Amino acid sequence: MPRRDRYVIREVEPKDLDGLYRLSKHLNSVNFPHDRVALERRIRFSRKSFAGRIPEVSLGRYMFVMANANSGRIAGTSTIFAKHGTPEHPHVFFDVLEDERYSTTLNRHFKHTTLRLGFTYHGPTELGALVLDPKRRAHGLGRPLSFVRFLFMAMYRERFRDEVIAELMPPLEPDGRSRLWEHIGRRFTGLPYQEADKLSYTNKEFILSLFPMEMNATLLPEDVRALIGEVGEATKGVRRMLESVGFEYVHRIDPFDGGPHFHALTDDISVVKNTAHGYVAADPLDADVEASILFDRQSVDGVDRVLLGVGQAEGPPRFRATTAALCRDGRGFLISKETQQILRVRPGESISASPL
């Protein structure tokens, strides 16, 4: 890959279907399936969400794509679900509780792990699938692809809930099975993991009807019990990134695969809290200064490496973002001409900047 490639992160478009389908083979999850018809439906709904053309704005689903600014080739995608949990489709989870016991007769102390089924009908905002082309993972693209969701929340705060959750992938078997599901979910439903996970995307009635409200996880095999609250090896970097901006594990897991839930108050997420809004200055930032910031990772006094975003609240969707160098002074936000071209903005237009 050319060393000085630039990338734009924008709202998904119908032309992205082929690229997203290629990318989906690296995950093939319920939120990002390797299925052209399902992806096409998600693209259409996302377009309506960005444009504000859905009956209830809080039910929006926003799919972002990261594309090479020159070739247009898609490198990754990430998603926001504005509200995860409705009366028709509740947010379901297991709370992981610890219960301590002590026997004076036996002089023995014991700690039980209990899984308690919970659900909410007016749930939090959820971070959806984040997928980066494996060939691009060594180029520092994962952080802006993830953080663009927080930038968008800061720009359109009224569309999102006061809490945000992220469900991380747990350790799975090489064939994609969940050992936790095999010992819990399959016993109560008779369904294999992938089939149950797919069904839950549109219907969670079977979970509420068939799962016990509480179970003692101490009765599980030790190797299965050890998976509760753990993240998979490939997801540990995501965990560190979320923790760095204010998320924490809340002792809550997915009832299907045991994936841990991380939580933060929306306004306490550092990227949301520290997003600044301003206007493009008339004078551009020097291109060589930006190159030294973005590609050589040098420090320049008064110039920051940020994630810049532009958009509009009404009319056709126009959200675009990119990693850029930014100088702030009395003249506004100084950005390079190349960045202006990538974002399709001109001097005097409003932009938002989030720390990276």
CA-wise closest residue to 74 among 117, 2, 15: 15
Please name each of the domains of the chain with its CATH number: 7-271 (3.40.630.30), 275-355 (2.40.40)
For position 260, what pLDDT does the model report? 95
- Characterize 268-295 residue by residue with b for buried, 16 or more Cβ atoms within 10 angstroms of its Cβ, and e for exposed: ebebbbebeeeebbeebbbeebbebbbe
pTM given for the model:
0.92
For position 160, what pLDDT does the model report? 96
For position 162, what pLDDT does the model report? 97
Residues 11/47, Cβ–Cβ less than 8 Å: yes
CA distances for 126 relative to 61, 83, 157, 238, angstroms: 10, 7, 14, 15
pLDDT tens for the chain, 356 residues: list them.
Answer: 345 889 999 999 999 999 999 999 887 777 888 899 999 999 999 999 999 888 888 889 999 999 999 999 999 999 999 999 888 888 899 999 998 888 889 888 888 899 999 989 888 999 998 999 988 876 789 999 999 999 999 999 999 999 999 999 888 888 878 889 899 989 999 998 888 887 887 788 888 889 989 999 989 999 999 999 999 988 898 999 999 999 999 999 998 888 999 999 999 999 999 999 999 999 999 999 999 999 988 889 999 999 999 998 676 778 999 999 999 988 899 999 999 999 999 999 999 999 98
Q: Supply 133's token pair.
A: 């082309």
Q: DSSP assignment, residue 32?
A: S
Distance CA 10, CA 278 (A): 20
Long-range Cβ pairs for the range 95-98 (8 Å, 24+): 95/251, 95/252, 96/217, 96/228, 96/229, 96/251, 96/252, 96/253, 97/251
Residue-wise DSSP of 91-147: EEEEEEEEEEEEETTTTEEEEEEEEEEEEESS--EEE---EE-GGGGGGT-HHHHHH
Residues 326/285, Cβ–Cβ less than 8 Å: yes
